[in-house]
Every structure is written in structure tokens, then in C-alpha cells.
Amino acid sequence: MLWHLQKHESAVNPESCYYYCALCDYSTKVKLNLVQHVRSVKHQQTEGLRKLQLHQQGLAPEEDNLGEVFFVKDCPPNELGE
């Protein structure tokens, strides 16, 4: 996951970006907070449900793409400095 985030950090302004977990609708301006979120019970439960859904759809875990779950985005202009 960290490699995935680092790869996408280069495409945004590091001073005004945030890290986002699409599974949990969680966002933060600090990468470490996202790493801690990934280890949280809430995220683990949500991820387990997602993996179960993928399994029920007949998709292998290898087809699970981090790019669909974790994002690095630029902050909207109205949120800068908050």
C-alpha cells in the first residue's frame, strides 16, 4: 500500500494533498494516519466484507486493485489551509 501511495504522491502537490480510503470514506492530510486507519477494526471489517463480495462474484484476490481503494488527491481550493 505504501508503494502505491508514493507512486501517486508524485502527481499531486505534497503541500495540498490528502489520502483517501474509498472503502470507508476516510480522508486525512497525513499519510501515517491512513496507515493507522488501514490497521483499524473498522477498516479491517469493511475490507473483509469487500473480499467476501469479490469471492462471491468469483474474482480472485489477485484481481483486487489497490488503485480502487486508496487515492492521493489534491485538496479542493476551498479546503486549503484548514
- pLDDT per residue as tens digits for the range 36-73: 999 999 999 998 998 898 888 887 765 557 777 888 88
Domains in the chain, number? 1
Burial 7-37 (b: 16+ CB within 10 A, else e): ebeeeeeeeebbbbbebbebbeeebeebeeb
For residue 82, tell me if it sits in a domain.
no
For residue 80, tell me if it sits in a domain.
no
* SS3 (DSSP) at 71: strand
Between these two residues, 82 and 77, which has the higher pLDDT value? Answer: 77
Three cell numbers written together for 59: 474474482
Residue numbers of the domain that contains 51: 2-73
For residue 28, tell me if it sits in a domain.
yes
Gyration radius of the chain's alpha carbons: 14
DSSP state of 74: E
**Which tens digit of pLDDT belongs to each residue from 3-43?**
667 666 666 766 778 889 999 999 998 889 999 999 999 99
